[in-house]
Amino acid sequence: MSLPLFRRSLRSLAVAVAAIAAVMAVYIGMVVYLYDPEVNESLQLMQEAMPELFAAFGMANPSATLCDFLLNYLYGFMFTGLFALMGAYMAQRLAVGPTKDGSLAWLLASPCSRPRLAVTLIAAQVAVVLLTVLLLWASEAAFCEALFPGELDQVALARANLGLAALGLFAASLCFASGFAFQRPSVALWAGAGACILFLLMGLAGTVGEGLEWVASLSPFSLYDAYGLAAGEADAAAGSVGLLGASTALFAAGAAAFCRRDFSL
């Protein structure tokens, strides 16, 4: 791995990660603040009255505990969409953008082998995904402890967040692989980003439309089961391991494409 490139890659992503973390911290604070067993009951009534609307935003499950409440309002649509967006952004900053504007020439003109450059770019993305999950987790823990001391099931939330990291890595690896697999920059960016959006929409369609559950199950994002992970179910853990395996394969495919392809820089 090249340390200068690793530091440079983190720095180029830092502003976006800081902005995302700040916005999400505010949002998490608002969601935690909204948690009130009494209000929760009225929200559940609303959910029963308008199940499709709630399901459309990934809030289909009843929430009896603070942890369930967080999973319901954050992990269905918001965090999944966030990591899909982050995957596309990182691919643009580290792969597609430098190829398109020609600044990748400076990396290829350095005495670093292509595999070493690819591993460094992958390491930077893994670090950013893990850091983002940690920041989200820290925000959740801090707000929950400040407003409802001792009420959050930390272990259950930790399991859900580990799965979230696997989901984030999958989205990042998909966008990275597509970023180097295609010669045309617009295709390279949108093949990966488009697939992430499609998987997200498939998941939402499955929860909204009756009889469309099979659509959701076709999406690789469905391997991430936050409720199952929180409950400690083996199937949910296996799904997350599957996402990690797919991420490894996609990162390897992206690195192989980077090492073999021509760059007209």
42 sits near other proteins (criterion: CB under 8 A): no
Among 101, 130, 138, 184, binds other proteins (CB under 8 A): 101
Task: Closer to other proteins by CB, 6 or 57: give it.
Answer: 6
2 sits near other proteins (criterion: CB under 8 A): yes
Joined tokens for residue 45: 């009534």
Interaction residues for other proteins, span 111-170 (CB under 8 A): 111-114, 116
Tokens 């073999």 sit on residue: 260
Query: How many angstroms separate the CA atoms of 66 and 245, rounded?
Result: 31
Binding residues for other proteins, how many (CB under 8 A)?
24
Query: How many angstroms separate the CA atoms of 177 and 188, rounded?
Result: 9
Joined tokens for residue 145: 């402890």
105 sits near other proteins (criterion: CB under 8 A): yes
234 sits near other proteins (criterion: CB under 8 A): no
| Contact assessment for residue 75 and residue 207, using Cβ atoms and an 8 Å cutoff | no
Query: How many angstroms separate the CA atoms of 66 and 76, rounded?
Result: 15
Task: Closer to other proteins by CB, 100 or 151: give it.
Answer: 100
Query: How many angstroms separate the CA atoms of 19 and 256, rounded?
Result: 32
107 sits near other proteins (criterion: CB under 8 A): yes
Query: How many angstroms separate the CA atoms of 141 and 25, rounded?
Result: 11
Closest separation in Å from C-beta 172 to other proteins = 20
Interaction residues for other proteins, span 244-263 (CB under 8 A): 262-263
214 sits near other proteins (criterion: CB under 8 A): no
Among 8, 25, 65, 123, binds other proteins (CB under 8 A): 8
Closest CA to 126 of 15, 251, 259: 251
Closest separation in Å from C-beta 101 to other proteins = 5
| Contact assessment for residue 163 and residue 225, using Cβ atoms and an 8 Å cutoff | yes
Task: Closer to other proteins by CB, 55 or 107: give it.
Answer: 107
Closest separation in Å from C-beta 158 to other proteins = 35
Closest separation in Å from C-beta 260 to other proteins = 9
Joined tokens for residue 192: 């990966």
| Contact assessment for residue 185 and residue 96, using Cβ atoms and an 8 Å cutoff | yes
Joined tokens for residue 117: 């450059």
Task: Closer to other proteins by CB, 87 or 98: give it.
Answer: 98
Joined tokens for residue 188: 């390279």
Interaction residues for other proteins, span 79-98 (CB under 8 A): 98
Task: Closer to other proteins by CB, 14 or 45: give it.
Answer: 14
Query: How many angstroms separate the CA atoms of 177 and 250, rounded?
Result: 6
Closest separation in Å from C-beta 132 to other proteins = 20
102 sits near other proteins (criterion: CB under 8 A): yes
Handedness of CA 41, 137, 224, 202 (dihedral sign): positive
Closest separation in Å from C-beta 67 to other proteins = 39
Kindly list the residues in this chain that would bind other proteins in the complex (CB under 8 A).
2, 4-5, 8, 12, 98, 101-103, 105-114, 116, 262-265
